[in-house]
Structure 1
Amino acid sequence: MRWEQLFADMEAQLASARQLDLEEEAAEQARAEYSRVRLADRLRLRRGEPVRALLTGAVPVEGRVRAVGSGWVALEDRGVEHLVPLGAVLWWESLGRGWTPGEDGVALRLGLGHALRALARDRARVRVRLAGGGPLGELDGTVDRVGADFVDLALHPDDDYRRRGSVTALRAVPFSAVVCVSSLTAG
């Protein structure tokens, strides 16, 4: 009788050790899987949901996630759209704990240049916030042209459309200096 109890106790200990090993392996596998999660994976899951971020230069921005590309996210807040390079974000809030693994088709392959070229096509008036901020850290105008790693911004009076005679300056802004590009007209 004592032998049966001894063997039963040994079997219970082995089963417990196997269960503990399985749990540790599952936890390690979850950590390894999460180590491959990109910020874009978490943002894609929040599409249509509100998020908050603090950008370089202590610029807060919030809005609903509209699109996620390669290195950027588009947010919309009460009709104002913000194009935010992911490298200009100091922290995100309200991302939740989940993520959507893998590529998101064409949108995730499109870089910041593609998004800016769409703004150039639309001749949208924008405000470009620059790294470093300060009094000269915001430029209002129209995206004129987009190069491989810079954007030409035509500065002109707020009450005028982008016309040759109304342009007061043409500034070439490196992508690395862009913190946020926001629409100036709601809708």
Structure 2
Amino acid sequence: MRWDRFFEDLEDQLAAEWEAERAALDSEAERLRVSRLALRERLVAFAQSAASPLSIELRDGSSLEASVTSVGADWMAVRPLRAHGAAESAVLVPLPAIRSIGAAQGELLRSARPTEPESRLAQRVTFGFALRDLARRRAAVAIGVVSGRALSGTIDRVGADHLDLALHDPDSPRRSAAVTAFRIVSFEAVAWVRVAAAVGVVAP
């Protein structure tokens, strides 16, 4: 019986060592996976889980309390919380404009887990493509630039890394008489683009 007990102890010890080694390997594999995790993947997870509104700080110094609705190749669309009965709007944010994101701990942890497979189209729809869609529809927009200013008007055309904006009152349609000036705006200077929800945003 003593030998039986001896071998049982050895088996228990071996099993414990195997379990510890497997846990160490799993932990290392998880650290490696997280080290390769991109911000875009975290945002996709927020969109897929319909997370509570996030606190998003942008490089122009502004902040948004908003839910992520969709994620393109290098941008995201968010729905801000309604304030003072204001009409709902959608905001496009280029990913480089994001400075930080505040979320509840549980949602933060969930966003670091593997996500559901997403449409391959979503990975290909660029910020420029989304802006061209707004230009095609002659949608009135407000654009926040990194200097802290907000420009209102209509996007006339979109180049490879910039856009042409006709400035006019946000409540007025784009007509020659209403346009007060024109601006070329570099994509690098854009912190956010706000459009009325009724206009809609190209869904990646």
| Alignment partner of 1:57 is 2:60 | yes
| Alignment partner of 1:91 is 2:100 | yes
Match of residue 39 from structure 2: 39
TM-score, normalised to structure 1's length? 0.86
Gaps of 5+ in 1: none
Query: Aligned letter for 1:61?
Result: L
Q: Is the 8 A contact 1:116 1:146 kept in 2?
A: yes
Match of residue 144 from structure 1: 156
More deviation in 152-161 or 1-10? Answer: 1-10
Task: Give the CA deviation at 1:156.
Answer: 1.6
Q: Is the 8 A contact 1:37 1:101 kept in 2?
A: no
> Residue 122 of structure 1 is aligned with which of 137, 149, 152?
137
In the alignment, the residues of structure 2 paired with residue 115 and residue 108 of structure 1 have an alpha-carbon distance, to the nearest angstrom, of 13
| Secondary structure in structure 2 of the residue aligned to 1:123 | coil
Match of residue 120 from structure 2: 105
Task: Give the CA deviation at 1:33.
Answer: 2.2
Number of matched pairs:
183
| Alignment partner of 1:82 is 2:91 | yes
Gaps of 5+ in 2: 83-87, 199-204
| Alignment deviations for residues 30-85 of structure 1 (CA, whole Å, 9 cap, x no partner) | 22222333222222232244322000132111222222101100012241110001
TM-score, normalised to structure 2's length? 0.80
| Runs of 4+ more than 6 Å apart | none
| Alignment deviations for residues 123-147 of structure 1 (CA, whole Å, 9 cap, x no partner) | 12111111132xxx21111111100
RMSD: 2.1
Question: For the structure 1 residues 24 and 18, does the alpha-carbon distance in structure 2 shift closer, same or farther, using more than 3 Å as the test?
Answer: same
Task: Give the CA deviation at 1:102.
Answer: 5.2
Q: Is the 8 A contact 2:144 2:193 kept in 1?
A: yes
> Residue 173 of structure 1 is aligned with which of 179, 182, 185?
185
Q: Is the 8 A contact 2:94 2:192 kept in 1?
A: yes
In the alignment, the residues of structure 2 paired with residue 159 and residue 6 of structure 1 have an alpha-carbon distance, to the nearest angstrom, of 85
Match of residue 20 from structure 2: 20
Match of residue 29 from structure 2: 29
In the alignment, the residues of structure 1 paired with residue 146 and residue 30 of structure 2 have an alpha-carbon distance, to the nearest angstrom, of 36
